[in-house]
Amino acid sequence: MIKDLPQNVVKDIAIAVALESENAERKVWYVYLINLKNIPLETVLITSKGYGEKDGEQVKTSVLRHAFPTIPANSFKLIEPIDEQTFGLTNEYWLSYYIGKEIFDKKFIFLPESIIDDNFIKLPVVNKPGVMIL
């Protein structure tokens, strides 16, 4: 039964959008997975997509899939670059990983217009400015 399934809660894992660089013409943004645990993550799978309304029309981005064999303890991994034009959409990242034989998964959602300067922090481990969801 469903009550017999383990309650594997995702803790100390974050998805972050970081400002990588900027000049007068444009800003460069990357999305990172941050492992704040003292143990590695194994068989990491991430899907990403954007969706919402832009200029009065429904918009969907392509679904991208990423796989990483291992993410070491207290480290980060570059997932993908992200275009600033998608910040007005909902950006969703679905993460699955193993620790030993146990599987964990969590959906991280950046709401429209949440990736703004007012929400910036110094991202742990990555040491860049950005927005993070734990």
Domain assignments of the chain as residue spans, ordered by start? 2-133
d(CA 76, CA 14): 9
Identify any residues that bridge with 91 across adjacent strands, giving them in sequence order: 50, 110
Residues 122, 131 contacting (CB under 8 angstroms): no
Which residues, including other chains, have CB under 8 Å from residue 89's CB and lie 6 or more apart? Answer: 50, 51, 52, 54, 59, 61, 112
Q: What are phi and psi of 87, to 5 degrees?
A: -65, -20
Architecture of domain 2-133: Sandwich (2.60)
> Could you tell me how far CA 113 lies from the centroid of its own chain?
16
9-66 per-position pLDDT tens digit: 899 999 999 999 888 888 899 999 999 999 999 999 999 999 999 888 999 999 999 9
What is the pTM assigned to this prediction?
Answer: 0.91
pLDDT digits (tens, 9 = 90+) for 58-117: 999 999 999 999 999 999 999 999 999 999 999 999 999 999 999 999 999 999 989 998
Task: Print burial letters for 65-84: b (CB count within 10 Å at least 16), e (below 16).
Answer: ebebeebeeebbbebeebee
